[in-house]
Amino acid sequence: MQERAQAVRLMIFDVDGVMTDGSLYYTDDGQELKAFNSLDGHGLKMLRQSGVQLAIITGRRSRLVEHRAANLGIDHLYQGAHDKLATFGELLAATGFSAEQCGYMGDDLVDLPVMRRVAFAVAVPESPDLVRHHAHYVTGAGAGRGAVREVCELLMQSQGTFEAQVAPYLR
């Protein structure tokens, strides 16, 4: 697993059930609400600063996700991706990375086509058995509750960049 994590230059995330706990909240007027974990957000910022590019591929569309991606400096955002494998191909073409340089974190069956092609596939513990079976790593933390941060730190530790990212906080 360490070798797989070392190869990652582009880490891709699903949103619902990965960056959130998968719950969908709607107001009476149809507005959608999502809860994101601030620890996950800081992990993503540190991972980006360590030199790993970040992307989101999600099947749903939401202005909230646009705002979250912009706030975190995530340049590659693909929403409404019903065929995630085709979208993954678009992302590879846009970035010049190969599948062997990518990681993907998902939680459900729609994520499997991409998970089966990347160097480092990650699932959350709430994922169905089949998804966890195809993951190279299953987080200990739950979706929307630190799972993304766990993966960010694991990648930085594997690539030898973690100490440099936390050093400013240890002065």
Domain boundaries, the chain: 2-165
Tell me the pLDDT band of 6, cut-offs 50, 70 and 90. very high
The domain 2-165 is placed in CATH, from the list 1.10.3720.10, 3.40.50.150, 3.40.50.1000, 3.40.190.150, at 3.40.50.1000
Q: Please tell me the distance from the alpha carbon of residue 139 to that of residue 50, in angstroms, as a whole number.
A: 21
Q: Give the count of beta carbons closer than 10 Å to the beta carbon of residue 96.
A: 9
Please determine, for residue 1, whether its predicted confidence score (pLDDT) is greater than 90.
no
Mean of per-residue pLDDT scores for the chain: 97
Q: Can you give the pTM of this predicted structure?
A: 0.97
Please determine, for residue 143, whether its predicted confidence score (pLDDT) is greater than 90.
yes
Mutual orientation of helices 147-159 and 38-49 as an angle, nearest 10°?
Answer: 20
Tell me the pLDDT band of 134, cut-offs 50, 70 and 90. very high
